[in-house]
Amino acid sequence: MRTYYYFSWFNHFFPEKLFKLLHEDIQDRKSLVMISGDPSDYEGEQVNFDDITEWTWFTQANLRFDETHFIDYRMQQEEAQQVMRNASVIYLCGGDPVQQHDFLAKYELSNVIKNSNAVIIGASAGSLNMAAKWLFSNDTIPEVETSIIYEGLSCNAFAYESHAQRDYATFVEGYLFTLSEEIDVYAAEQESAMRVKDGKHFSWNKVVQLQRNEHSYRPTAFIGGFSSAPGQDGYKRSLKL
């Protein structure tokens, strides 16, 4: 039984329903392992966890662990792999998704994550890298000359977009359309999240699914506090364009 959480970003703390499910899902709290979203951008040799926003979300939710590790280039590859193998929760932090993507490859962490029985969580850039594919686009980052589709960890068989704007024309006709030709896409706004557990998808706040099928592309909006994915009974409210 695998459990995955995809976070967009929270400006303050977890929503109450998300808070409760995290407590239910994270029973083993021996070791939290956090993977930097900016593994090259550090100062000094010591990690100050109070400066890591994603860690403060956990402390505010009273999710505390016997051990907490933070992986970036200050930690040697062999040690990074070892602490991840012993992790109760693996947490891919936000930051630069390309830099994190390259770090996972260089340190050979991808298979360690995919083979782990830990709860896997990603925030912003981390959630992109958890997905099967994600888009690095000049529509969202003007400095990027050419849009690139990256291969993620494939924790689940869909693409993910974080910090999405609620403009459905953007999803249907804009930069996510090309990606949706290849694979289903979930696009989450700020303050939104999605959990995948036992193959079932649940979302909080505003997560849009751009669905790939043989005949058309159908965005489905999950609007409100707690919603189930298409095909699951209950909770679902949808908007078809």
Residues in the chain: 241
pLDDT by 10s per residue, the chain, length 241: 799 999 988 888 888 888 899 999 999 999 999 999 999 988 777 788 888 888 888 988 999 999 999 999 999 999 999 999 999 999 999 999 999 999 999 999 999 999 999 999 999 999 999 999 998 865 555 455 567 889 999 999 999 888 666 555 555 556 677 788 888 888 888 888 999 998 888 887 778 787 765 334 444 444 344 444 443 332 232 322 2
- Specify the pLDDT at position 140: 52
Structure tokens at 137: 């686009």
The per-residue pLDDT for range 104-162, each reduced to its tens digit, is 999 999 999 999 999 999 999 999 999 999 988 655 554 555 678 899 999 999 998 88
pLDDT at residue 10 in the model: 87
Q: What is the pLDDT of residue 174?
A: 64
d(CA 140, CA 68): 33
